[in-house]
Amino acid sequence: EFFYFSDDGQLLGLRTGDWKVVYAEQRAKQFDVWREPFVSLRIPKLFNLRRDPYERADTDSNSYNTWWENNSAWIFYGSAKALQFGQSFKQFPARQKPNSFTIDDIMKQLTQYQPFRPE
Protein backbone atom coordinates (compact mmCIF):
# COMPACT_ATOMS: atom_id res chain seq x y z
CA GLU A 1 0.00 0.00 0.00
CA PHE A 2 0.95 3.61 -0.55
CA PHE A 3 -0.79 6.46 1.28
CA TYR A 4 -1.03 9.96 -0.19
CA PHE A 5 -0.99 12.88 2.27
CA SER A 6 -1.12 16.65 1.78
CA ASP A 7 1.50 18.99 3.25
CA ASP A 8 -0.98 19.60 6.09
CA GLY A 9 -1.23 15.89 6.93
CA GLN A 10 -4.65 15.24 5.33
CA LEU A 11 -5.12 11.75 3.88
CA LEU A 12 -5.81 12.32 0.19
CA GLY A 13 -5.90 8.75 -1.05
CA LEU A 14 -4.29 5.37 -1.06
CA ARG A 15 -3.02 2.91 -3.58
CA THR A 16 -3.23 -0.84 -3.19
CA GLY A 17 -2.07 -2.93 -6.12
CA ASP A 18 -3.51 -1.50 -9.35
CA TRP A 19 -6.24 0.39 -7.47
CA LYS A 20 -6.30 3.92 -6.13
CA VAL A 21 -8.97 5.35 -3.82
CA VAL A 22 -9.13 9.17 -3.71
CA TYR A 23 -10.64 10.88 -0.64
CA ALA A 24 -9.74 14.50 -1.48
CA GLU A 25 -8.48 16.18 -4.61
CA GLN A 26 -6.88 19.41 -5.74
CA ARG A 27 -9.07 20.95 -8.43
CA ALA A 28 -6.96 24.06 -9.01
CA LYS A 29 -4.39 24.24 -11.80
CA GLN A 30 -0.86 25.62 -12.06
CA PHE A 31 0.21 28.02 -9.30
CA ASP A 32 -3.33 28.15 -7.88
CA VAL A 33 -2.72 24.77 -6.25
CA TRP A 34 -0.91 26.73 -3.51
CA ARG A 35 -3.85 29.10 -3.00
CA GLU A 36 -6.79 26.74 -3.15
CA PRO A 37 -7.63 24.04 -0.58
CA PHE A 38 -8.12 20.37 -1.27
CA VAL A 39 -11.74 19.36 -1.82
CA SER A 40 -12.86 16.49 0.43
CA LEU A 41 -15.11 14.17 -1.53
CA ARG A 42 -18.41 12.97 -0.10
CA ILE A 43 -17.76 9.57 -1.66
CA PRO A 44 -14.28 8.54 -2.78
CA LYS A 45 -13.24 8.28 -6.40
CA LEU A 46 -11.80 5.03 -7.65
CA PHE A 47 -9.23 4.39 -10.36
CA ASN A 48 -7.63 1.29 -11.80
CA LEU A 49 -4.15 2.63 -12.50
CA ARG A 50 -3.27 -0.12 -14.95
CA ARG A 51 -6.29 0.72 -17.13
CA ASP A 52 -6.30 4.48 -16.43
CA PRO A 53 -2.73 5.54 -15.54
CA TYR A 54 -3.52 9.27 -15.87
CA GLU A 55 -6.63 9.04 -13.64
CA ARG A 56 -8.91 10.75 -16.13
CA ALA A 57 -11.78 8.28 -16.39
CA ASP A 58 -13.94 10.35 -14.01
CA THR A 59 -13.84 13.30 -16.43
CA ASP A 60 -13.17 11.66 -19.82
CA SER A 61 -15.44 8.61 -19.70
CA ASN A 62 -19.19 8.64 -20.19
CA SER A 63 -19.58 5.42 -18.18
CA TYR A 64 -17.36 6.11 -15.16
CA ASN A 65 -20.26 6.08 -12.68
CA THR A 66 -21.48 2.68 -13.88
CA TRP A 67 -17.93 1.34 -13.72
CA TRP A 68 -17.54 2.90 -10.26
CA GLU A 69 -20.71 1.14 -9.02
CA ASN A 70 -19.47 -2.20 -10.36
CA ASN A 71 -16.09 -1.82 -8.63
CA SER A 72 -17.08 0.07 -5.47
CA ALA A 73 -16.09 -2.86 -3.24
CA TRP A 74 -12.51 -1.61 -3.64
CA ILE A 75 -13.51 1.54 -1.79
CA PHE A 76 -14.46 -0.48 1.28
CA TYR A 77 -11.25 -2.48 1.00
CA GLY A 78 -9.27 0.77 0.74
CA SER A 79 -11.11 2.31 3.68
CA ALA A 80 -10.31 -0.75 5.79
CA LYS A 81 -6.63 -0.40 4.85
CA ALA A 82 -6.70 3.33 5.71
CA LEU A 83 -8.29 2.55 9.08
CA GLN A 84 -5.68 -0.12 9.75
CA PHE A 85 -2.94 2.38 8.87
CA GLY A 86 -4.50 5.00 11.16
CA GLN A 87 -4.57 2.51 14.03
CA SER A 88 -0.81 2.03 13.67
CA PHE A 89 -0.32 5.60 14.96
CA LYS A 90 -1.41 4.41 18.40
CA GLN A 91 1.62 2.15 18.57
CA PHE A 92 3.90 4.45 16.55
CA PRO A 93 2.79 8.09 17.09
CA ALA A 94 3.87 10.83 14.70
CA ARG A 95 7.17 12.44 15.63
CA GLN A 96 6.07 15.95 14.73
CA LYS A 97 2.95 17.88 13.91
CA PRO A 98 2.46 18.58 10.18
CA ASN A 99 2.98 22.16 9.06
CA SER A 100 -0.05 24.32 8.50
CA PHE A 101 0.02 27.05 5.90
CA THR A 102 -3.22 28.88 6.69
CA ILE A 103 -3.63 32.63 6.92
CA ASP A 104 -4.72 32.21 10.55
CA ASP A 105 -1.36 30.65 11.42
CA ILE A 106 0.51 33.43 9.64
CA MET A 107 -1.48 36.11 11.46
CA LYS A 108 -0.82 34.37 14.78
CA GLN A 109 2.92 34.40 14.08
CA LEU A 110 2.81 38.06 13.07
CA THR A 111 0.96 39.13 16.22
CA GLN A 112 3.48 37.28 18.38
CA TYR A 113 6.41 38.94 16.62
CA GLN A 114 8.34 41.39 18.77
CA PRO A 115 10.26 43.88 16.62
CA PHE A 116 13.85 44.69 17.49
CA ARG A 117 14.02 47.80 19.66
CA PRO A 118 17.52 49.14 20.25
CA GLU A 119 17.96 50.72 23.66
Model pLDDT for residues 11-33, shown as the tens digit of each residue: 999 999 999 999 999 999 999 99
pLDDT bracket for residue 118 (50, 70, 90): low
What pTM was estimated for this model as a whole?
0.73
Domains of the chain from N-terminus onward: 2-112 (3.30.1120)
Task: Please name the residues in contact with 1: beta carbons below 8 A apart, sequence gap of 6 or more.
Answer: 14, 15, 16, 81, 85
Q: If pLDDT is split at 50, 70 and 90, which confidence band does 43 have?
A: very high
Higher pLDDT, 103 or 59: 59
In this prediction, residues 47-53 reach a mean pLDDT of 95
Q: Is the pLDDT of residue 116 over 60?
A: no
- Chain segment 56-94, per-residue pLDDT in tens: 999 999 999 999 999 988 888 888 888 888 888 788 887
For residue 38, give the nearest of 27, 49, 53 by alpha carbon.
27
Cα distance between residue 29 and residue 18, in whole Å: 26
Rounded CA gap, 37 and 99, in Å?
14
**Distance (Å, whole) CA 111 – CA 56:** 44
